[in-house]
A = this chain, B = another copy of it.
Amino acid sequence: MAKILILGAGVMGTAITMPMTHNGHTVHLVGTHLDGDIIEAIHGDHYHPRLRSRVAETVIPYTFDRLGEAMEGVDLVVLGVNSLGTDWAAEMLGPRLPPHTPVVLLTKGLAGDGQTLYILPDVLRKSMPSHYQNQAQVAAIGGPSIANELAALRHTCVVLAGSDKSLLEAIADLLRTRYYHIWTSTDLIGVEVSVALKNLYALAVGLVQGWLEKEGEANGGAAMYNAASAIFAQSLWEIGYLVEYMGGERRSVYTLPGAGDFYTTCQSGRNSRMGRLLGLGMSYRQAKAQYMPEDTVEGAELALSIGPTVETLIDREELDGAAVPLLRTVVDLVCHESRPKILWDAFFAGI
């Protein structure tokens, strides 16, 4: 049995304790400074208030000041912070992480520094102390995983991606259960780019719901599935382009990390809700302030985080702007408060 540390006691960081404890592992669940109430609740009655689930008695909750203690002798570290917390997590883990201890990211996102786009495992690695950077075994889990479904032991299929296939298989074996199905992949870039971008593109699919509410059904029932589906397909096409641009493989786009995760994201969640508000005609700033002030809208955060870099790369013709009309639309919406303009006839460039 292994000893596993999870940093971040949000819904996903906590849901993944289920397969771990089912397999008999010892789990140290370390809350961030934002998770104090959650850790307290788990200490009390082992109930996670946001996940609305009980966690196993064998999950040991830690507040964040006890990270060093919780880290002793761990075989695996899982990172469950949100995308804004990656740098912070690297800073926290850096001095305490034993070399060779693999880190698995649940966090989704991409980063841009104005010149280049990065996947989060690379951001994490670069923020680590130099002695760790070359030894770091950073892997990531991607795929359609709504946390409360996993917590309810409902079938969930994911990909564990990294560079060392045998290490990936060893980690997957720690986590696999009859309901948590894991494939391993060495296409870390393809998986990470796919799972990050799905949030951004879900804003575009979500627009259609807003338009439909504004215009109403037509002809006794006609909705706008055709439009939503075309945007869905174009999103996958653009994700495919961007994955290849970053050095990844299209097969990740067309399986669980891309098509699968994107499907879930379009059915529910905060990104779709924000897309709907934008489709109703609100500006991003207005929609955020008025309706979702407390929510982290990962797709919009991603647009804010990579938008300027994307624009620079297009200006420099390193990225082909004609290949990513929807990406440009979403960046315009979120970063420049523009109105949504879908350039239908610019879709599927290069097909």
Partner-B contacts on A (CB < 8 A): 51-53, 143-146, 148-152, 154-157, 181, 183, 185, 218-230, 232-233, 236-237, 240, 250-251, 253-256, 258-261, 263-264, 266-268, 342, 344-345, 347-348, 351
Q: Are A237 and B254 in contact (CB under 8 A)?
A: yes
A140 to chain B, nearest CB (A): 16
Query: Would B230 and A156 count as touching, CB distance under 8 A?
Result: yes
> Given A154-B218, A344-B157 in contact, is the A263-B226 Cβ separation under 8 Å?
no
- Which B residues lie within 8 Å of A51 (CB)? 219
Cα distance A219–B149 in the bound complex, in angstroms: 8
| A226 and B185 contacting across the interface, CB-CB below 8 Å | no
CA–CA, A332 to B148, complex, Å? Answer: 32
> B230, A260: Cβ atoms under 8 Å?
yes
On chain B, the residues within 8 Å of A143 by CB distance are 230
Give the residues in chain B near A255, CB-CB below 8 Å. 233, 236-237, 348, 351
* Complex Cα spacing A218 to B345, Å: 43
Pick from B145, B222, B240, B263: contact of A154, CB under 8 Å: B222
Q: Which residues of B contact A347 (CB under 8 A)?
A: 157, 181, 183
Contact A157 B225 (CB under 8 A): no
**CB contact between A226 and one of B224, B227, B264, B351 (< 8 Å): that residue:** B264
A149 touches B223 (CB 8 A): yes
* Complexed CA–CA distance, A52 and B263 (Å): 30
Cα(A224)–Cα(B264), bound, Å: 9
Closest approach, in angstroms, between the C-beta of A240 and any C-beta of chain B?
Answer: 7
With contacts A144-B230, A228-B267, A237-B255 known, what are 6 further pairs, Cβ within 8 A?
A145-B226, A150-B226, A155-B230, A226-B264, A232-B260, A232-B263
Q: Would you give the shortest CB distance from A282 to chain B, in whole angstroms?
A: 21
Chain B residue with Cβ nearest A52: B220
Residues of B within 8 A of A218 (CB): 148-149, 152, 154
Residues A185 and B351 in contact, CB atoms below 8 Å apart: yes
The answer to whether B230 touches A259 (Cβ under 8 A) is no
B154 touches A221 (CB 8 A): no
A sample of 12 inter-chain contacts (CB < 8 A) reads: A52-B221, A143-B230, A149-B224, A181-B347, A183-B347, A183-B351, A225-B267, A232-B263, A233-B263, A236-B254, A236-B255, A255-B348
